[in-house]
Amino acid sequence: MGSLRFNYKKRLSYIPFVLVLLDLQHEGVQCGKNAEVENHLELGKKLLAAGQLADALSHFHAAVDEDPKNYMAYYRRATVYLAMGKSKSALPDLSNVVELKPDFTSARLQRGNLLLKQGKLDEAEEDFKKVLKSSPSAKEETDAKTQLIKCDEMQRLLVQTHREFNNEDYKTAAAQLDTLLETCVWDVALRELRAECYIQLGELGKAISDLKAATKLKNDNTAAFYKISTIYYKLGDHEMSLNEIRECLKLDPDHKQCFSHYKQVKKLNKQIMSAEELISEEKYTDAISKYESVMKTELNVPYYTMQAKERVCHCLSKNQQALEAIETCTEVLKSDPHNVNVLKDRAEAYLLDEQYHEAVRDYETAQEHSESDPQVKEGLERAQRLLKQSQKRDYYKILGVKRNAQKKEIIKAYRKQAQQWHPDNFQDEEEKKKAEQKFIDIASAKEVLTDPEMRRKFDEGQDPLDPENQQGGDNGGHHFHRGWNSWQGFNPFGSGSFNFKFQHN
């Protein structure tokens, strides 16, 4: 009960209503005496005082059912509704009180306050004027006069707001609506008008906030749900768009606008989700095809085209289609030059195409905008190593193969090069020495690129045959050299592995 009493006090933003309820001036009023009705009213009053609002409400319901002409039963029930924050339910009860007892100034004053909050300015003004004509208490008179002045201010400001809106001065109109909504907090039309101002000003987050409030203030507000969905859609949030348009269709399954939009969003959402699932399964070619379908499905919202191209760029890079990836990624970066994900994907494509300077540049740009991204840090370090490595000996270039070449391609290229550069093919002494060195490089390239672990190290920017990269080795600051003598009699067309002998120059 303690927590109930606390909640009751916390929610009691309408203290004047309760005070009026308990005011002794109404305790002795005869309301068509009925023992059972009076019992419900008394029990409800005690429960209300104890903070047990739901139980009190049940007794006041019973009192109204027993005697629909009992204005005090309506008034007390309205008081509980207000304490519970249910102003919509309180308003009809207050109207019943005023109809049954027109000189009940407290009820009329409270109804006027609710009507003012709902933005029904003319009706509220009428209530406040009638309060002043019905011999009110000093406090009621003061309150009614104050609220009449407020009604007049709001009516004049509302005229100005519509004028500014029609003149397309949305910033001024929005500022005036801020003032109006401080008083008319439950006015759905004002919130929707301010949302439209925000849309015109490009402040879509604020527009969504006002429209969501409008859906709560008006239960069947399909128009607001539709507008929220279209805003989310234009922002690229297809999942939220789908959620909101479903709310519209729950209210009206036959709503033409909502159903048409629902079909479009659902189709697009399905394509995007399917494409992302294919990417997670590393089926990049299929994912590219699916994202191409996304671009065909939605031609009028640029966000989805750019998002699709961004993901196609990623897939091409992952699929080791370097040139295509570079082209697509570059197109995206023209519109979004600081897109870290696209910069990373293009950098990887540049590495595949052995454009190391460009890869380093992209990773450096990405790092400027995402210093804490571990992928960027690792990628930059790797690109820098590969750039440095490319300025020394590149096993891929020696064999004339791409960095993504398969083992069969590497062996084929090796055999062709070894046949061409075998020293026995040369008679001139200088040419033979040149061929010997070339043959050694070809054999070294074949050894590194056909060994998965050695190739992995080389792809990370380390030369596994360079003594500088060997742990525990003393290279004396010299580069290694493999002697031709160790290769004499070797068959370059065999499939066996090699055992190299290292000699210092």
- pLDDT single digits (tens) 284-303: 999 999 999 999 999 899 99
Strand, helix or coil at 470? coil
pLDDT per position as a tens digit, 138-150: 999 999 999 999 9
Give the model's confidence band at 85: pLDDT under 50 very low, under 70 low, under 90 confident, else very high. Answer: confident
Say if residue 9's pLDDT is above 70: no
Of 6-10, 278-282, 446-450, least confident by mean pLDDT is: 6-10
Say if residue 357's pLDDT is above 90: yes
- Hey, what are 490's tokens? 């070797």
Query: Mean of the pLDDT values across residues 470-493?
Result: 44
Give the model's confidence band at 471: pLDDT under 50 very low, under 70 low, under 90 confident, else very high. Answer: low
In this prediction, residue 470 carries a pLDDT of: 59
CA distance 229 to 231: 5
List all residues 6 or more positions away from 341 whose beta carbon is below 8 Å from its beta carbon: 310, 314
Say if residue 71's pLDDT is above 90: yes
Burial of 392 (0-12, 13-18, 19+ CB in 10 A): exposed
- Which residue in the block uniquely carries the two structure tokens 């193969």? 401
Pairing of strands 480-482, 502-504: antiparallel
CA distance 20 to 29: 14
In this prediction, residue 469 carries a pLDDT of: 64
Integer CA distances (angstroms), 360 to 348, 349, 354, 443, in order: 10, 12, 11, 30
C-alpha 151, offset from chain centre? 40
Query: Mean of the pLDDT values across residues 23-41?
Result: 62
Phi, psi of 502, rounded to the nearest 5 degrees: -95, 135
Terminal alpha carbon distance of the chain: 93
Say if residue 503's pLDDT is above 80: no
CA distance 341 to 315: 12
- Hey, what are 309's tokens? 């191209």
Query: Mean of the pLDDT values across residues 464-479?
Result: 55
Q: Which domains does the chain have, with CATH numbers?
A: 320-392 (1.25.40.10), 403-459 (1.10.287.110)
Query: Mean of the pLDDT values across residues 94-113?
Result: 94
Give the model's confidence band at 504: pLDDT under 50 very low, under 70 low, under 90 confident, else very high. Answer: very low
List all residues 6 or more positions away from 77 whose beta carbon is below 8 Å from its beta carbon: 57, 60, 61, 63, 64, 93
Of 14, 15, 10, 5, the closest CA to residue 55 belongs to: 5
pTM over 0.75: no
Report whether 57 contacts 65 (CB < 8 A).
no
CA distance 77 to 53: 10
What percentage of the chain reaches a pLDDT higher than 90? Answer: 69
pLDDT per position as a tens digit, 214-251: 999 998 999 999 999 999 999 999 999 999 999 999 99
Sequence letter at residue 170: Y
